[in-house]
Amino acid sequence: MGGTIRAYRSVKYFGLTFAISWACFGIAAARSRAVTGNLMEDPVISLGMIVGLFGPLIAAGICMSGRGNKPIRQDFKDKLTSLRRIKPGFWPVAFLAYPVLMAVAVLVSVPFGGSIDQLGLTAKFAIVEGAAALSWVIAFAAPALEELGWSGYGIDALRGRGPLIRPVVLFGVLWSAWHVPLFFVKGYYHANLWAESPLYAVAFLVGVVPLTVITNWIYYRNGRSIIMAIVFHAMVNVTSEAFEVTNATKTILYGLLIVVAAVLIVCDKRFFLSRDEGLVPRLPKSSQAPTGALSKAGA
End-to-end alpha carbon distance in the chain: 22
CA proximity to 191, closest of 129, 118, 102: 129
Distances (CA, A) of 204 to 62, 207, 209, 249: 30, 5, 9, 12
CB 212 within 8 Å of CB 171 = yes
The neighbouring-strand residues paired with 188 are 128
CB 283 within 8 Å of CB 289 = yes
CB 23 within 8 Å of CB 59 = no
Angle between helices 55-64 and 70-81 (to 10 degrees): 140
Angle between helices 70-81 and 226-242 (to 10 degrees): 50
CA proximity to 229, closest of 173, 171, 183: 171
Domain boundaries along the sequence of the chain: 10-281
Rounded Cα–Cα distance for residues 121 and 186 (Å): 25
Q: Using 50, 70 and 90 to split pLDDT, how confident is the model at 46?
A: confident
CA proximity to 195, closest of 182, 208, 209, 206: 182
Which phi and psi angles does 86 have, rounded to 5°? -85, 130
Give 73-124 pLDDT, tens digit per residue.
999 999 999 999 999 999 999 999 999 999 999 999 999 999 999 998 776 6
Q: What is residue 213's predicted lDDT score, i.e. its pLDDT?
A: 97
Give 174-207 pLDDT, tens digit per residue.
999 999 999 999 988 899 999 999 999 999 999 9
Instruction: State which amino acid sits at residue 194.
Output: W
Question: Which is more confident, 62 or 146?
Answer: 62
Judge whether residue 291 has pLDDT over 70: no
